[in-house]
């Protein structure tokens, strides 16, 4: 067993006692990756793991601050989804169009991570531009689920979830636009939390759908999630949508009593389409919370069935504009030698983007286009209001809403690639949270008979992540 | 409401994407089905519902009018696929 | 058959700020290409905009000065199109909810009547980069992103303008207002004010508008006027010969003094505007507007009226002085504590304006500061130099930048008012011009002027002309 198998919490302790060095951990991770690469079916969790670059980051951290032992993370290496800019490091977004792009700046979350003693260590695989629920849409190949390598790890943060679950990373930063942290965390049996929109700066996070995107941790334990979220949270004047609020000491809430909380169970999340085994496991999770003393209320989230349509209209509209800048003019790769501007644009983008990205760009371009804006985009923005208000009302009555994360456990690689609509529909339990900008986590709640993990989704009101950490640690304590 | 091939061609052009005839056909089918599904929003009465662009309702986020650090030109040059005399080179536009 | 011209304008004017609209890069002009760039204005993946508060302030100031309704809620929107000078492939602009709506500007029409030109809107947006084209035909284009993200105000008029001259006067009035309020320098050479024109022609009495032609991106008011004059001729000719106009975007070619077709009205550009998810809405409260209104400097119209009342200038003179806030400021500074402002006004209108024209400079580049001009006038009023010598001294000040007193001293131009000195010269002149003196005495009064001229010549213009007159008269009429 290597240091890569340990949690942030444990490694922090060893680092503090000087029993190990930062590079000891990095070397164990490197060895783990190398060993996995030899596997018949490698996890393929990393797009880039440059030991020299990591060494330099670690050196800077130890050299510059001189007080790494006083930082929160004390030098623990953190792997980064390849959608987040790390200076002098490739930031490919899982796309051919940026495969040679090396970022000239750090995202604010990375700046904060470093300030708090985290060492950015490798860039993780993902669905191209975070578009997907299975991590099969990466230019760098599909990622596999460590619990069953014939299965998907979930997406779009499949790399982070697979790496953390497979001990190829201590912990990771992922991103969540419509469930991209929670769904893979659920499918890989790790902890993942999407914070309140505005809690973590989006500056330097390559935008997919700006009004939904959030950075958040994917970790082995709830405590690690709390520590890592603490490290990257905080107001950022460079992000106009960043919230100017205090960051609680999240780790203080891990293991605390939940006797004062009332949990809400929305009927709409337990209806048709929910896999029986998943239902059973989630219900066990709810029982655990009841046993820990929470009140339980059945609640209504009546507009849930409109969430998928609402989300995919707004997200693809934003994406169609956000991805328009990738044209090979100022950065990236020019795939054709041409004297014609239009040819340059079209060839670069057609060669550079994969099918799912093209599909979403086209969808978003269509719903924004003249004559369709009112029928799609505006309607979706209004429906978004209703979905948001649904939650506002629910949180008048309850503290935490408890639901499944995904209606089904990890499916076979390739199973849904030809049916994008079916894949979109699998996001039904995660997208409403993003529409409302709420914090939500997935904590492992058990395994199916086939050995596939199933997560429990815990949704809180804006900026109430602390209650999520309390609740999640109870589930974790029971499931182990 | 589905989508026809002419519209697919039109939006591909707006999005600066080149589609092969096979891709056009595939997109017509897939986007058609997705858009049919989107019609579910037609069930809602949205007449007096205001649209949501931002969930947190912040307003007036500004910064001071102060000059900050810029990139060294060499950084811009390094990023650019084609570069000449301090400029990014592109196919002639006029 | 008579035709009527309908003109509407769109003006893009650069707001006078230190840093760009959404990032802290400098807005300075003429720097090394691509040296004023950062992740935000280069549109690097992941970068986000934050609004410059000064852009908002200047935008509201312009709105007030242009008589607009300032929106309580305004929203930035993405305007989507691909072009190499637009790094994000969308321009952050305003669409459905602009900052300013429904303004107006007053001008005088060609019949001398006051005319109100209504404004549709005046909204905020960011500028694009600058494209230059290789001299080799078909060679590549090159992009400099320094200008990218520089703040602009786009002012859109209603189709209220009827003649090229009205367009010219309207533009001049807008420029004055923006300069007066410090919203923009409006430096045309630097492209800080650019004009797009919409023009259509219809038969007199017809209700519907004719087919619209757009002429884009002109940075001289004279060119706007010329382009409009050309278009009226061109379109009228086509219509008179029974032809049909098709909607086009055209460019004005200064060498040909003609507009040329750039492209047919593009299959209706579909910009797919939608609210910017990265920027939050702008809410303007009335106290913010009041605060700006109180600090608003005097506008050109009010200043003209004040110049007439306070300094006793003619309407015409004050009009010219106020046509540039810098010239008006120069005048007021020069007049400070000076008893005869009209004299200074005349001097500025003749001498100073002549120098600006000859040297092709702006008034703040003139080496003679308002204080230096006043010192020159003090010398004249005090009798140290004559008006004629003053012109010589002024020209010298313009070229050397030296003070009037210093030049008078160095060149020995001090006026001679010593009776004894002048007496000697007068005597010399009388002796040398016996014949002229007798002509004068015989009744040829014009001979007197000749004698005065001779005295002035001998003293190199320095003799006090009043004294010369007096003393000559005394002698020959004795």
Q: Is C255 helix (H, G, I), strand (E, B) or coil?
A: coil
CATH number at residue A289: 3.90.1300.10
Q: Is A19 exposed, middle or buried (0-12, 13-18, 19+ CB in 10 A)?
A: exposed
In chain A, what residues touch B12 (CB-CB under 8 Å)? Answer: 362
Closest Cβ opposite residue B52 in set A312, A324, A388: A388
In chain B, what residues touch A384 (CB-CB under 8 Å)? Answer: 51-52
Q: Are residues A283 and A320 in the same domain?
A: no
Q: Are residues A328 and A345 in the same domain?
A: yes
Question: Is A241 near chain C, with CB under 8 Å?
Answer: yes
| pLDDT at position B25 | 95
Give the span between the Cα atoms of C191 and A126, in whole angstroms. 45
Q: Which of A121, A180, A251, A426 is catalytic?
A: A180
Structural domains in chain A (count):
2
Question: Is B54 near chain C, with CB under 8 Å?
Answer: yes
Q: What number of CA atoms fall less than 13 Å from residue C224's CA on the CB side?
A: 30
| pLDDT at position B1 | 57
* Domain, as residue range, for A266: 1-302+393-480
B86 domain residue, yes or no: no
| pLDDT at position C156 | 98
Give the span between the Cα atoms of C67 and C60, in whole angstroms. 11
Q: Are residues A278 and A351 in the same domain?
A: no
Beta-bridged to residue C157, according to DSSP, are: C119
Q: Stretch A443-448: mean pLDDT, rounded?
A: 98
Give the span between the Cα atoms of A212 and A199, in whole angstroms. 12
Q: Is-catalytic flag, A115?
A: no
Question: Is C280 near chain B, with CB under 8 Å?
Answer: yes
Question: Is B60 near chain C, with CB under 8 Å?
Answer: yes
Cβ <8 Å between A330 and C42: yes
Q: What is the pLDDT of residues A231-261, one digit of tens each?
A: 999 999 999 999 999 999 999 999 999 999 9
CATH entry, C419-476, from 1.20.1540.10, 1.10.10.410, 3.40.50.300, 3.30.465.10: 1.10.10.410
CATH number at residue B38: 1.10.20.60
Q: Is A332 exposed, middle or buried (0-12, 13-18, 19+ CB in 10 A)?
A: buried
Closest Cβ opposite residue B53 in set C80, C140, C275: C275
Q: What percentage of residues in chain A have a pLDDT greater than 70?
A: 99
Give the span between the Cα atoms of A145 and A167, in whole angstroms. 12
ipTM of the complex: 0.97
Closest Cβ opposite residue A383 in set B46, B56, B58: B46
Output the six-digit token pair for A412.
């076979």
Chains that touch B (3 or more CB pairs under 8 A): A, C
CB A352 within 8 A of CB A333: yes
Q: Are residues A413 and A326 in the same domain?
A: no
Write down which residue in A327, A346, A375 finishes a domain: A375
Q: Which of A95, A103, A138, A156 is catalytic?
A: A156
A385 domain residue, yes or no: no
Mutate to test the interface with B, among C274, C279, C280 (most CBs of B within 10 A): C280
Q: What DSSP character marks residue A378? A: I
Q: Are residues A456 and A432 in the same domain?
A: yes
Tell me the C-alpha to C-alpha distance, in Å, between residue A361 and each of A99, A294, A319: 19, 44, 6
Give the span between the Cα atoms of A185 and A455, in whole angstroms. 7
Closest-CA residue of A relative to C45 is A206
In this model, does residue A384 exceed pLDDT 80?
A: yes
Cβ <8 Å between B56 and A345: no
Q: Stretch C332-340: mean pLDDT, rounded?
A: 89
Question: Is B81 near chain C, with CB under 8 Å?
Answer: no
CB A48 within 8 A of CB A84: no
Q: Are residues A9 and A92 in the same domain?
A: yes
Give the span between the Cα atoms of A130 and A313, in whole angstroms. 16
Beta-bridged to residue C7, according to DSSP, are: C161, C199
CB A353 within 8 A of CB A97: yes
In this model, does residue C364 exceed pLDDT 90?
A: no
Q: What is the pLDDT of residues C65-119, one digit of tens each?
A: 999 999 999 999 999 999 999 999 999 999 999 999 999 999 989 998 999 999 9
C142 φ, ψ to 5°? -130, 145
Place of tokens 């004297």: A339
**Average pLDDT, rounded, for chain C:** 92
Question: Is C140 near chain B, with CB under 8 Å?
Answer: yes
| pLDDT at position C386 | 79
In chain A, what residues touch B88 (CB-CB under 8 Å)? Answer: 329-330
Q: Is-catalytic flag, A156?
A: yes
Q: Are residues A56 and A132 in the same domain?
A: yes
In chain A, what residues touch B49 (CB-CB under 8 Å)? Answer: 382-383, 385-386
| pLDDT at position A65 | 54
In chain C, what residues touch A91 (CB-CB under 8 Å)? Answer: 45-46
Structural domains in chain B (count):
1
Q: What percentage of residues in chain C have a pLDDT greater than 70?
A: 99
| pLDDT at position C267 | 56
Q: Stretch A80-102: mean pLDDT, rounded?
A: 97
Q: Are residues A476 and A366 in the same domain?
A: no
Cβ <8 Å between C280 and A241: yes
Cβ under 8 Å to C: A residues 68-107: 84-85, 91, 93, 98, 101, 103-105, 107
B16 domain residue, yes or no: yes
Place of tokens 């402002």: C341
Closest Cβ opposite residue B38 in set A241, A376, A462: A376
Cβ under 8 Å to A: C residues 250-269: 268
Question: Is C106 near chain A, with CB under 8 Å?
Answer: no
CA dihedral sign, ordered C398, C401, C403, C407:
negative
Cβ <8 Å between B34 and A344: no
Q: Are residues A25 and A87 in the same domain?
A: yes
In this model, does residue A66 exceed pLDDT 70?
A: no
Domains of chain C, by residue range, sit at 3-288, 299-411, 419-476
Give the span between the Cα atoms of A208 and A156, in whole angstroms. 11
Give the span between the Cα atoms of A225 and B20, in whole angstroms. 45
Distance from first CA to last CA of chain C, Å, rounded?
A: 78
| pLDDT at position A200 | 98
In this model, does residue A95 exceed pLDDT 60?
A: yes
Q: What percentage of residues in chain A have a pLDDT greater than 90?
A: 96
Q: Stretch C57-72: mean pLDDT, rounded?
A: 97
Q: Distance (Å) from the C-alpha of residue B48 to the closest C-alpha of chain C?
A: 18
DSSP A185-244: HHHHT-EEEEPPTTTS--TTBPPSSTTT-EEEEEESSHHHHHHHHHHH-S--TT-TT---
Q: Are residues A171 and A189 in the same domain?
A: yes
Question: Is C219 near chain B, with CB under 8 Å?
Answer: no
Give the span between the Cα atoms of C469 and C477, in whole angstroms. 12
Q: What is the pLDDT of residues C126-152, one digit of tens each?
A: 999 999 987 888 889 999 999 999 999
Q: Distance (Å) from the C-alpha of residue C59 to the closest C-alpha of chain A?
A: 19
Count CB neighbours of A422 within 10 A: 11
Q: What is the pLDDT of residues A259-294, one digit of tens each?
A: 999 999 999 999 999 999 999 999 999 999 999 999
Closest Cβ opposite residue C39 in set A105, A237, A240: A105
Closest Cβ opposite residue B49 in set A339, A385, A435: A385
Distance from first CA to last CA of chain A, Å, rounded?
A: 19
Output the six-digit token pair for A273.
């389409």
């Amino acid at each position: 067993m290597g240091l890569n198998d340990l949690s942030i919490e444990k490694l922090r302790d060893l680092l503090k006692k000087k029993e190990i060095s930062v590079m000891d951990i990095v070397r164990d991770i490197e060895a783990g990756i190398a060993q996995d690469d030899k596997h018949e079916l490698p996890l393929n969790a990393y797009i880039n793991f440059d030991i020299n670059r990591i060494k330099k980051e670690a050196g800077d951290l130890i050299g510059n601050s001189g007080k790494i032992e006083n930082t929160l993370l004390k030098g623990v290496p953190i792997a980064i989804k390849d959608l987040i800019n790390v200076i002098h490091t490739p930031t490919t977004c899982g796309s051919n169009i940026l495969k040679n792009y090396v970022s000239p700046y750090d995202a604010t979350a990375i700046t904060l991570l470093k300030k708090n003693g985290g060492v950015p260590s490798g860039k993780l695989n993902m669905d191209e531009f975070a578009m997907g629920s299975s991590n099969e849409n990466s230019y760098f190949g599909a990622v596999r689920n460590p619990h069953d390598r014939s299965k998907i790890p979930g997406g779009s943060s499949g790399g982070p979830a697979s790496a953390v679950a497979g001990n190829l990373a201590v912990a990771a930063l992922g991103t969540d636009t419509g469930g991209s942290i929670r769904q893979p965390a659920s499918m890989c049996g790790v902890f993942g939390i999407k914070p309140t929109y505005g809690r973590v700066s989006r500056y330097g996070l390559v935008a997919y759908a700006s009004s939904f995107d959030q950075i958040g941790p994917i970790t082995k334990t709830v405590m690690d999630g709390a520590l890592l979220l603490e490290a990257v949270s905080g107001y950022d004047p460079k992000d106009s949508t960043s919230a100017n609020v205090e960051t609680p000491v999240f780790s203080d809430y891990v293991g605390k009593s939940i006797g004062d909380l009332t949990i809400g169970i929305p009927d709409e999340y337990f209806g048709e389409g929910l896999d029986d085994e998943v239902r059973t496991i989630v219900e066990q999770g709810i029982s655990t919370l009841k046993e820990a003393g929470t009140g339980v209320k059945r609640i209504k989230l009546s507009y849930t069935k409109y969430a998928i349509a609402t989300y995919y209209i707004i997200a693809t509209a934003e994406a169609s504009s956000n991805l328009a800048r990738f044209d090979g003019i100022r950065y990236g790769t020019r795939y054709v030698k041409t004297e014609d501007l239009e040819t340059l644009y079209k060839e670069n983008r057609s060669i550079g983007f994969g099918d799912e990205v093209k599909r979403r760009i086209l969808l978003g371009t269509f719903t924004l286009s003249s004559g369709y804006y009112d029928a799609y985009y505006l309607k979706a923005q209004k429906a978004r209001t209703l979905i948001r208000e649904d939650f506002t009302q629910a949180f008048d009555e309850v503290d935490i809403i408890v639901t499944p994360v995904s209606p089904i456990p990890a499916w076979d690689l390739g199973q849904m690639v030809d049916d994008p609509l079916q894949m979109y529909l699998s996001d039904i339990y995660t997208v409403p949270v993003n529409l409302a900008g709420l914090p939500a986590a997935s904590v492992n709640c058990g395994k199916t008979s086939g050995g596939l993990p199933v997560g429990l989704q815990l949704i809180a009101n804006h900026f109430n992540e602390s209650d999520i950490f309390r609740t999640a640690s109870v589930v974790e304590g029971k499931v182990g | 409401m589905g989508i026809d091939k002419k519209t697919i061609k039109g939006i591909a052009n707006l999005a600066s994407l080149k589609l092969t005839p096979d891709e056009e056909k595939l997109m017509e089918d897939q986007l058609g089905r997705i858009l049919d599904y989107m019609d579910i929003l037609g069930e809602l009465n949205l007449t007096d519902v205001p649209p949501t662009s931002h969930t947190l309702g912040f307003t007036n986020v500004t910064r001071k009018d102060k000059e900050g650090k810029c990139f060294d030109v060499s950084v811009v040059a390094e990023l650019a696929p084609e570069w000449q005399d301090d400029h990014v080179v592109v196919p002639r536009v006029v | 058959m008579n035709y009527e011209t309908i003109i509407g304008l769109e003006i893009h004017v650069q707001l006078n700020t230190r840093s760009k609209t959404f990032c802290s890069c400098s807005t300075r002009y003429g720097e090394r290409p691509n040296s004023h760039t950062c992740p935000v204005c280069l549109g690097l993946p992941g970068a986000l905009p934050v609004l410059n508060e000064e852009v908002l302030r200047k935008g509201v100031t312009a709105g007030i000065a242009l008589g607009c309704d300032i929106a309580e809620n305004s929203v930035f929107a993405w305007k989507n199109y691909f072009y190499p000078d637009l790094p994000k492939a969308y321009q952050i602009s305003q669409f459905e909810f602009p900052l300013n709506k429904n303004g107006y500007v007053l001008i005088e029409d060609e019949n001398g009547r006051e005319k109100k030109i209504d404004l549709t809107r005046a909204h905020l947006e960011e500028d694009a980069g600058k494209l230059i084209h290789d001299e080799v035909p078909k060679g590549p284009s090159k992009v400099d992103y320094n200008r990218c993200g520089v703040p602009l105000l786009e002012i859109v008029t209603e189709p209220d303008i009827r003649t090229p001259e009205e367009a010219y006067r309207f533009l001049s009035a807008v420029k004055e207002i923006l300069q007066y309020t410090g919203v923009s320098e409006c430096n045309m050479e630097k492209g800080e004010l650019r004009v797009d024109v919409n023009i259509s022609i219809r038969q007199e009495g017809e209700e519907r508008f004719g087919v619209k032609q757009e002429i884009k991106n002109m940075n001289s008011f004279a060119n706007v006027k010329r382009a409009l004059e050309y278009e009226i001729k061109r379109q009228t000719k086509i219509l008179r010969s029974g032809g049909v106009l098709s909607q086009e975007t055209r460019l004005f070619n200064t060498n040909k003094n003609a507009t040329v077709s750039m492209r047919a009205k593009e299959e209706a550009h579909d910009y797919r505007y939608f609210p910017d998810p990265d920027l939050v809405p702008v809410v303007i409260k009335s106290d913010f507007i009041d605060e700006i209104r109180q600090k608003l400097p005097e506008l050109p119209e009010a200043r003209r009226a004040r110049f007439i009342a306070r300094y006793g200038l003619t309407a015409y003179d004050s009009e010219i002085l106020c046509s540039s806030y810098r010239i008006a400021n120069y005048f007021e500074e020069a007049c400070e504590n000076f008893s005869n402002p009209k004299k200074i006004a005349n001097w500025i209108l003749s001498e100073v304006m002549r120098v600006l024209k000859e040297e092709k400079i702006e008034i703040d580049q003139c080496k003679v500061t308002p204080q230096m001009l006043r010192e020159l006038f003090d010398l004249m009023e005090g009798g140290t130099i004559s008006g004629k010598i003053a012109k010589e001294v002024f020209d010298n000040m313009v070229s050397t930048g030296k003070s009037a007193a210093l030049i008078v001293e160095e060149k020995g131009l001090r006026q001679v008012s010593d009776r004894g000195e002048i007496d000697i010269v007068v005597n010399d002149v009388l002796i040398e011009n016996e014949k002229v003196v007798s002509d004068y005495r015989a009744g040829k009064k014009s001979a007197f002027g000749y004698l005065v001229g001779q005295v002035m010549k001998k003293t190199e213009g320095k003799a006090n002309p009043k004294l010369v007159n007096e003393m000559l008269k005394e002698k020959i009429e004795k």
